[in-house]
Amino acid sequence: MLDRDRREGDDVASMTSQMWNERYAASQAVWSITPNVWVEQVAADLPAGTALDLAAGEGRNALWLAERGWRATAVDFSAVALDRARTWAAQRLGPGADRLATVVADLLEYTPDAQFDLVLVVYLQLPADQRGTILRTAARAVAPGGHLLVVAHDSDNLAHGYGGPQDPAVLYTAEDVTADVAGLGLDVVRAEAVRRPVDTPAGPRHAIDVLAVFSRAVKAAAGRGRRTAAWGE
């Protein structure tokens, strides 16, 4: 699997929306067009519902969900990236392209206007204060019975993994994610460092990622059982 989630040396934290627009405009696809491996693993067995993809980029994860029947909202501060996501949605979803909605927004200022069955934050590499603000926004957006999935380059990737940002200030751990969303009514399903295979010109390597999954229980008064996917049992 090619490591096109983040390229080695990317200084993503310092890039403005205009810089991202220029970067997306200069390439037909900056990232992989297939879903992230952890998103695919976690979401494959979930029933289709509503999804929110924060820092969605070109929308690869939101599009994959939309292809599986989800109604997905992709949020990013690059209008160029989201234009591309809508173009791909028209090509891949045809009459179902309206299952993908896009919102151009700075995530530090964005507040969702609804709750969602699945909230994704995938490779959002920012300093701790900014990351915490956005992850708390993500946590609050999880509907009863829903899930939050956070994937990131782990702090240990810098010394023992491959690729990803080389600035330790934007790397973090599963424990950091758990602390960021503590007290917001979510239960930890899974929070750990995981190894992701990477094909490189020098041969197979591994990247070390954060994989954190949380669920929000359904209130007993609603008369419904708690919905937690089998992989979290």
Convert the pLDDT of each residue in 165-209 to its tens digit.
999 999 999 999 999 999 999 999 999 999 999 998 889 999 999
Task: State pLDDT tens for residues 190-202.
Answer: 999 999 999 988 8
For 176, residues 6+ apart whose C-beta sits below 8 A from its C-beta are 128, 131, 210
**Domains and their CATH numbers in the chain:** 12-232 (3.40.50.150)
Q: How far is Cα 112 from Cα 103, in angstroms, rounded to an integer?
A: 10
Structure tokens at 32: 């992989």
- Whether the CB-CB separation of 77 and 108 falls below 8 Å is answered with no
Vertex 66 angle, CA 30 and 13, to 5°: 35
Confidence of residue 32 (pLDDT cuts 50, 70, 90): low
SS3 content of the chain, % helix, strand, coil (to 5): 35, 30, 35
Confidence of residue 20 (pLDDT cuts 50, 70, 90): low
Q: Report the residue count for the chain.
A: 233
Residue 136 CB neighbour total at 10 angstroms: 15
Residue 16 CB neighbour total at 10 angstroms: 10
pLDDT of 34: 83
